Structure 1
Amino acid sequence: MNSRDSFITKIAFLSVSFVLTSAYAIQGALPQMKAALNISQTQAEYLATSPAFLVIFFVIASPFIARLCHLSDKKVIQIGLIIVGLAGIAPFFISNYWLILLSRLILGAGFGLYNSQAIALISVWYAGNDRSQMLGWRAAAEQLGQACTLVIAGGLLTFSWHAPFLVYLLAFVALAIFSFRVPDDEHLEEQAQTTNVTSQDVEPTTHRSVTKISPMVGLLVAFAFILVVDYVGMNNRFSGLAVAINGQNYQGASLFLSLMLVGATLGGITYGTIQKHLGFNTVYLGLGLMAIANFLFGLAGNNFVVMVVGLLLIGFPLQLVSPLIFNLLPDLAPLNKQPLVTSLVLIGFNFGAFFSPTAAEIINKLLNKPMSGLGLAAPFPIYGVILLVIAGIIFITKQKNNN
C-alpha cells in the first residue's frame, strides 16, 4: 500500500480536485459555438452552466448510490472521473446542440458523483495539521485547475470550436494517477471498529467517540451558502461595473478575474500554515478580510483601482474559511457519515452559487438601487456587514462554550 505521506500520493489525492472546476473551461468558445450551431446567446450560455444543475442532485445522491451499490469512496471517485472524461470529450465528435447539452448535463452528474468523496477521503486518511494542509491544497488545486483548463481550452480554440472539449482528457490522467497511488478505503471503517490501527497508511482520523451528526453541520451549510453568494456575486458583477466605470469598449475584466484566482490559489496553499499558527482564529482572519474586500468593492464608486483591489482580495480569505469548514466535519459526524455531511456542505456551496444572482437582485430592490451601472455594487457593503456579524456570533458562541 502506498504511504499517504508520499508526495506522489498527495498529488494523486489532489489530482481529482484539479478537474472539478473545469465545467466553465469552454466559456471562451461560446461565441464560436453560437455561430456554428446557429443558437441563441442564452442557449450558448447553457452549454457552460448546465453541468451545475446536476451537480447539486448528484452531490445529494452520491452517498446513497455508494451505499446501495456497496462502493468505497475510491471507487465512487473513479467512476465519477470516467463519466467526466467520456461526457466531457463527447462534444468533440458532436455538432448537434441538444446532444452537446445532454453531454454537459452528464458531465455535471460526474462532478457531483465524486465531489464530496474527494473531500471526505482526505478527511478519512489525514489528521491534524496534515488534514488542514491537504484540505487547503485541495481548495488551491480547484482554483489552479480552473485557471489551467481555461488557458488550455483557449489555446485549443485556435484549431476549432470542437477542440476545447479535449481538455477533459485530463480526467483520465487524474484517474490513472489516483487509481495507482491512493489506498482503497473500502474496509477502513471495519478496521477502525475491530482493531487498534496504528499503521501510518491506514489510520482512521475521525474521532471514534462521534456517534451521530451534530446540529452544527446545518449551521456550516448555511455558512457555506452565504460565503458563495458573496463570492460568486462579486465575480458576476465585476464585468458590468468595469464597463460602467471605463466605458462600453472596455474588455479587460477577464484579466482581473483570472488574477483573482491567483489570490484564491495562494489562500488554499497557505491555509495549512496559517491554520497551524492561528487555529480556529483563522475563521476570524478570513471573515475580516472578506468583509474588507466587500467594503472596498462596494464603496469604490468610480475608483476602479479600489474596486479591483477588493476583487483581488476576495479569493484569498474565501480559501482560508472554506477549508476550515471541511476541516471541522470529521469532529461533527461519525466516519461512515462523512460523505453525507460533506455532501450537505457542498450543497450549501453550490446552491449559494446558483442563488447568488437572485440574492443580489433582492438586495438591490430593497435598497432601491438600479440593476445597472454603479448600482451593481450595492449588495456588497451589506455582505460585508453580514460577514462581520457572523464573525461576532461565532466569537460570542465560542466564548460561552469555553466558559
Structure 2
Amino acid sequence: MDNKKSIVTKLAFLSVSFMVTSAYAIQGSLPQLKAALHITQTQSEYLVTTPSFAVMIFVVLSPLLQSWFHISDKKIIMLGVFIVGLAGLVPMFVSNYGIVLASRLVLGAGYGLYNSQAISMISVWYEGNERAQMLGWRAAAEQIGQATTLFIAGLLLSSFGWRQSFLVYALAFLVLLFFAARVPDDSKVEAAEEKEEKQEAELKEAVEGEDKGKISPVVYLLILFAFLLVVDYVGMENRFSGVAVAIKGASYTGSSNFLSLMLIGATLGGLFYGSIKKVMGFGTVYFGLILMAISNFLFAYGASHRSFVMLVIGLLLIGFPLQLVSPLIFNLLPDLAPANRQPLITSMILIGFNFGAFFSPTIAEWTNHIMGQPQAGLSLAAPFVPYGIGLLVIALIIFIATRRQAKKN
C-alpha cells in the first residue's frame, strides 16, 4: 500500500532524524561524568564529539555495505537506529572510560550507517515541493531531536544521576518500532535504481561533453571555515555545563535545559536564513560572524565575572548566527567547481564540519594551554575570547578578499 502522503508515515520518516543528533544529549552530564570516571576535561568532552569521527567513516561505508550485502534503505536505517539504542545505553552499566568511549564510537557508527539513507529515501519517495518540504522538516527534526534529548537527559540526571541520563537512548527503540511499522519496505528500489542509472548517464555525458574544470582553492578555505565554526559552536556546548557548575556550585544539574533552549535559536536561524539573505545578500556572512563573535565575548565575560545571566545569553545567542553562516557555505559551492565535482566538494565541506566537532576538545585544550589557563572551572571559558577575535578576523579577510575580487571584475 502506498501511504507515503499519510502524515503518520511522514512522521515515521522524520523520527529517525530526530535521533541523529542525540550524541549531544549528555553534554549537561559532563561535570558529573568527569568526576565519576576520574578523567580530564578534554577526555570528558571527547565523549560527546567522538561519535562525529565514526560518522565520517560510516557515511562513506554505508552505501558500500548496502551494495555488498544487498540491504534495502529501510533495513540499513533500522540497523543504524538499533545500534544507536544499544550503544547509547552501554555507559549505564560500566565505569571504565575506555569502554564508555568505545561505546560512543559505536554510537557514531550507527548514526553514520543511516544518516545519508534517511535523506536519500525521502528523495526517492517524494518529488517537487513535497520533497523540499520533507527535507526541510528533516533538518528541523534534527534540531528538535537534539533539544528534546538534551532536556530528557537533563531531567534524568537531576532525578537519578549521570548513569541514568544515558537512558535517553532508549528512545531509539521506540523510533525503531515506529519506523518499522509505518514505513513500507518496498522503498521504491526499482525507481531508485532507474534514477541512479539516469544520474550516472548524465554524469558521464557531463564529464565527456564539458570541460572538467578545476575545484577552486576557495573550497579549501571554506572547509577550514566550516571546521573553525564548529570548533567554536561545539566547544561552547561542551564547556557550558562545566562553567555553570563553577558559578552555581557542584550540585547544579540544570545545564541541559539551557543547552536545549540554545537549539531553539539555531532552529530560528535556519528558518529565517532565506529571509535575512534576501535582504542582506552576502552581507549575511558578516552579520552572522559578528553575532557569533559577540556571543563568544558574552560567554567569556559571564565566566570571568561569575555572571550566570551573561553566560547564558552568550550560549543562547551562538546558535542563531551559526545557522546563518553555514547554509551560505553550501550556497557558494555551485560557483566553485563544475557540476560533476559538486558531490565531492559537498562531502568535503561535511567532513570539515565533522572534523571540527571531533577535534573541538583538543583545540580548546591547546588554547587554554597557550593562554596559560587551567582546564577547569571558570577558566574553561578562556578560549572564547580568542575564538571571538578569530571570527572577526575571518570576517575582515572575507571583506578584503571580496572587495579585491569586485575591483578585478
Q: TM-score, normalised by structure 1?
A: 0.72
Matches of residues 44-193 of structure 1 in structure 2 within 5 Å?
52-53=49-50, 55-60=52-57, 62-63=59-60, 66=63, 70=67, 79-89=76-86, 104-116=104-116, 138-152=138-152, 161=164, 164-172=168-176, 173-174=178-179, 185-188=192-195, 190-191=197-198
The 3-state SS of whatever aligns with 1:23 is helix
Offset, 1:365: 2.6
Distance change >3 Å, CA 186–CA 255, structure 1 → 2: same
Q: Which of residues 234, 237, 256 in structure 2 aligns to 1:235?
A: 237
Offset, 1:294: 1.1
Matched, 1:309 2:330: no
Aligned amino acid, residue 106 of structure 2: I
Number of the residue aligned with 1:399: 403
Number of the residue aligned with 2:295: 293
Cα pair 2:30 2:241 within 8 Å, conserved: no
Distance change >3 Å, CA 180–CA 230, structure 1 → 2: same
Matched, 1:360 2:335: no
User: Aligned equivalents of 1:334 and 1:75: distance in 2?
Assistant: 31
Number of the residue aligned with 1:220: 222
User: Aligned equivalents of 2:298 and 2:392: distance in 1?
Assistant: 15
Cα pair 1:13 1:178 within 8 Å, conserved: yes
User: Aligned equivalents of 1:248 and 1:156: distance in 2?
Assistant: 17
The 3-state SS of whatever aligns with 1:369 is coil
Number of the residue aligned with 1:254: 256
Instruction: Decide which moves more: 251-260 or 282-291.
Output: 251-260
Cα pair 2:80 2:113 within 8 Å, conserved: no
Partner deviation per Cα, 1:254-304 (whole Å, 9 max, x = no partner): 332222122122222222333344343322221121011112222343133
Offset, 1:209: 7.0
Aligned amino acid, residue 59 of structure 2: S
Partner deviation per Cα, 1:41-97 (whole Å, 9 max, x = no partner): 559x999966854642452453465368659xx955851442222451477799678
Aligned amino acid, residue 345 of structure 1: I
Partner deviation per Cα, 1:367-390 (whole Å, 9 max, x = no partner): 233434443322212111211221
Cα pair 2:296 2:384 within 8 Å, conserved: yes
Identity of aligned residues (%): 53
Structure 1, unmatched stretches of 5+, are 196-207
Greater helix proportion: 2
Cα pair 2:243 2:377 within 8 Å, conserved: yes
User: Aligned equivalents of 1:384 and 1:332: distance in 2?
Assistant: 28
Structure 2, unmatched stretches of 5+, are 203-208
User: Aligned equivalents of 1:7 and 1:357: distance in 2?
Assistant: 40
Number of the residue aligned with 1:198: none
Cα pair 1:217 1:341 within 8 Å, conserved: yes
Q: TM-score, normalised by structure 2?
A: 0.71
Distance change >3 Å, CA 48–CA 366, structure 1 → 2: closer
Aligned amino acid, residue 62 of structure 1: V
Instruction: Decide which moves more: 77-86 or 105-114.
Output: 77-86
Distance change >3 Å, CA 153–CA 250, structure 1 → 2: closer
State the Cα RMSD in Å: 4.8
User: Aligned equivalents of 1:350 and 1:80: distance in 2?
Assistant: 20
**Number of equivalent positions:** 385
Instruction: Decide which moves more: 332-341 or 242-251.
Output: 332-341
Distance change >3 Å, CA 236–CA 40, structure 1 → 2: closer
Cα pair 2:150 2:260 within 8 Å, conserved: no
Cα pair 1:60 1:344 within 8 Å, conserved: no
Cα pair 2:147 2:259 within 8 Å, conserved: no
